[in-house]
């Protein structure tokens, strides 16, 4: 048995390729069924997000498994895309596959290191596969461990603590100036994507109200209604600015919309209470001269980018610690994988020894008909004891060495020494079938 994966992501494929492979739940369900009906595939799981599509499987034949999963992608592609897609696909097996999954779940392979969404997406993919009974002992153990590793990394490192988006950095800076953002009011000048992200972050950090203004009043209405805010007509926003503790400006205007004259009136109306301006427009929409005024704080896009870049560097340092954790956890799980290979051999060895013991004890006891029941029992116990002591060394060695670098060679030697190919042993009864896991 071997765990393999084939996939594509934001590093290997442009969005126009990735979007063609974004799978709906119905498509994932159908594909999982098709995979698990194939005798090559013992278990399967599909992780599909906006930045990646990866198919995980447990197979008996790694090479044939790779071809099957690659064909799964290629068969969905238009002829003109097949060559581009083939170069975009990546594949991993065994410890490399485990390490890749751990890095994905821990957001080390994400577009933004430390982002929290991917862990939830990994959980959802695992739950969906469990619901469709397409996973078994191997993938259940692997994905539970991946989720555990991701949580450990978030606990033991600071990989998610430093903001790495412009909008979130703006919120973090506002918190440094005001402390808590509860009871604070925000005005968004402009209603584009950046303003929307900022609105989400500000609300998540407890601001009491949001005012939204835009040259298109309809767009201001739309964004304000989405975040339970107050729309403001563009020609009135300067007059309404005094109601806001934080003003975030993000428009396409080619000139300053807010200057010292407007801010002086705002400060007077606020009775010198501090106000924080964030200008993420290019070109700038707020005159930098206002930064010289009392109780006025201004950060522009370059100030925010410096914070973002510093925080990215901090995350990269934490990522080194995370990689060390992943290496440790991967080694542990791979040892567990390899120990599974020893189980059928251990069962075979025990069964062969017991078959020989039973045959010999039967032949011997037939010749010793005069033995009392107690004496017969003593002979039986003696043979059991001899077999157990003879097997103790080989069985212990198999359990301990199965996961070592020489594990495969060791098991092959045991197979040949004890002629285990002559014994056809069914899988151990205590191993779960697909969709179950050993408890």
Alpha helical stretches, state H, 38-165? 62-74, 82-88, 94-105, 117-131, 137-156
Give the whole-angstrom CA distance, residue 231 versus residue 224: 6
Q: State how beta strands 52-59 and 209-214 pair.
A: unpaired
Collect all residues with Cβ–Cβ distance below 8 Å to 179 and sequence separation of at least 6. Answer: none
Could you identify the residue written with the tokens 């109306």? 269
Angle at 205 between CA 162 and CA 279, to 5 degrees: 70
Tokens of 405: 């670098």
Q: Of 5, 22, 123, 125, which is closest to residue 68 (Cα–Cα)? A: 5
Cα dihedral 424, 429, 430, 435 sign? positive
210-218 LR contacts (CB < 8 Å, sep 24+): 210/185, 210/186, 211/185, 211/186, 211/187, 211/237, 211/240, 211/243, 211/244, 212/187, 212/188, 213/187, 213/188, 213/189, 213/237, 213/240, 214/189, 214/190, 214/251, 215/251, 216/191
Choosing from 50, 111, 317, 382, the catalytic residue is 50
The Cα 144–Cα 105 span in angstroms is 11
Tell me the C-alpha distance between 291 and 44, whole Å: 58
Q: Is 70 a catalytic residue?
A: no
Please give the structure tokens belonging to residue 320.
């080194």
Could you count the other beta carbons within 10 Å of the beta carbon of residue 426? 8
Q: For residues 187 and 248, give the distance between their C-alpha atoms in angstroms, rounded to a whole number.
A: 6
**Which positions are catalytic?**
50
């Amino acid at each position: 048995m071997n765990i393999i994966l084939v996939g594509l992501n934001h590093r290997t494929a442009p969005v126009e390729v990735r979007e063609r492979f974004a799978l709906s739940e119905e498509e994932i369900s159908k594909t999982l069924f098709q995979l698990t009906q194939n005798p090559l595939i013992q278990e399967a799981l599909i992780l599909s997000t906006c930045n990646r599509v990866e198919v995980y499987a447990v197979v008996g034949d790694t090479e044939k498994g790779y071809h099957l999963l690659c064909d799964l992608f290629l068969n969905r592609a238009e002829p003109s895309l097949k060559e581009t897609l083939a170069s975009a696909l990546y594949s991993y097996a065994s410890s490399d596959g485990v390490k890749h999954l751990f890095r994905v779940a821990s957001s080390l392979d994400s577009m933004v290191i430390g982002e929290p969404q991917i862990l939830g997406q990994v959980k959802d993919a695992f739950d969906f596969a469990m619901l469709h009974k397409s996973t078994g002992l191997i993938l259940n153990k692997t994905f539970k461990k991946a989720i555990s590793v991701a949580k450990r990394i978030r606990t033991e490192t600071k990989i998610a603590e430093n903001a790495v988006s412009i909008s979130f950095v703006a919120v973090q800076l506002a918190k440094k100036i005001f402390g808590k953002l509860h009871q604070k009011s925000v005005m968004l000048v402009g209603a584009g994507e950046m303003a929307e992200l900022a609105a989400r972050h500000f609300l998540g950090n407890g601001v009491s109200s949001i005012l939204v203004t835009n040259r298109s009043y309809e767009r201001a209405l739309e964004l304000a209604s989405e975040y339970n805010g107050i729309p403001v007509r563009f020609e009135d926003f300067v007059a309404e600015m005094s109601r806001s503790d934080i003003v975030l400006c993000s428009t396409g205007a080619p000139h300053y919309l807010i200057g010292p004259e407007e801010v002086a009136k705002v400060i007077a109306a606020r009775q010198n209470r501090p106000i924080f301006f964030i200008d993420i427009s290019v070109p700038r929409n707020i005159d930098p001269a206002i930064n010289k005024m009392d109780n006025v704080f201004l950060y522009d896009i370059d100030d925010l980018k410096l914070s973002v870049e510093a925080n990215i560097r901090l995350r990269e340092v934490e990522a080194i610690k995370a990689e060390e954790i992943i290496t440790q956890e991967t080694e542990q799980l791979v040892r567990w994988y390899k120990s599974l290979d020893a189980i059928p051999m251990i069962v075979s060895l025990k069964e062969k020894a017991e078959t020989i013991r039973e045959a010999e004890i039967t032949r011997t006891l037939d010749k010793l008909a005069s033995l009392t029941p107690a004496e017969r029992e003593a002979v039986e116990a003696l043979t059991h004891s001899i077999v157990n002591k003879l097997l103790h060394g080989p069985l212990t060695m198999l359990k301990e060495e199965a996961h070592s670098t020489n594990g495969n060679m060791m098991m092959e030697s045991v197979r040949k020494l004890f002629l285990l190919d002559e014994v056809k042993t069914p899988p151990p009864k205590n191993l779960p079938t697909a969709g179950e896991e050993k408890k």
